[in-house]
Amino acid sequence: MLEERRIDTFVFGMGCFWSPEANFGQLPGVLRTRVGFAGGTKSDPTYRQMGDHTETVEVTYDPDAISLEQLLRKFWNDHNPNRPAYKERQYISLLLYQNAEQKTIMEAVKQQLEVERKNTIYTEIAPMHDFTEAEPHHQKYYLKRFKKATEQLMSHFPSEAAFHTSTITSRLNGFVREYGTLASIKEEIAKWNISDDEAIRIQEMLDGLKW
């Protein structure tokens, strides 16, 4: 019997959402990723009509495998939170907390890094309200540039939405962006909370991909 595991969600903005989705999607412990718009007030934002929202990444993760503190340190290490605003709020450095515990951790890690760096961090930390998923062509953007592999992968999923929110497509989206390797993905699969048959199926799917 497979063990139930805890899951949590982390939402952030650090510039154009394509690369951060790939970067965080390759991390062991991350279960799935989506890109979208959040942090603003406009109803039903789209990429062309974003209003006061920010491009964000939603990361669903297993806190027993990777902590929020680890994710936050990666967030701050992988971009410049103090760069001048560009396109109003679209590309700002932003953290959105789901609850009081997340807010406390975000503020604590920020303070620790400010002491370590001897510099003020100007990331906006705000409550999470609505997350609007971006249009399909923005999801797993780098993986979809490999059309043959994407077509093969799509055939293994019941819907495009399932493809977008899969752990394996999150890893592969990172791999094609040169975050991680196929070998490391295959090694990690053996540790996933899935049946042996499912692990074999995924391994065979990877072995059969045509890039």
pLDDT in tens, 121-172: 999 999 999 999 999 999 999 999 999 999 999 999 999 999 999 999 999 9
What is the domain class of 8-137 according to CATH? alpha beta
pLDDT (tens digit, 9 = 90+) per residue, 51-67? 999 999 999 999 999 99
Q: Hey, where are the domains in the chain?
A: 8-137, 140-207
pLDDT of residue 4 exceeding 80, the answer is no
Catalytic residue flag (residue 208): no
pLDDT (tens digit, 9 = 90+) per residue, 82-114? 987 777 899 999 999 999 999 999 999 999 999
Q: What's the predicted TM-score (pTM) here?
A: 0.94
The predicted pLDDT at position 163 comes to: 97
Q: Of 9, 16, 105, 121, which residue is the catalytic one?
A: 16
pLDDT of residue 2 exceeding 50, the answer is no
Task: Judge whether 33 and 141 are in contact, CB under 8 Å.
Answer: no
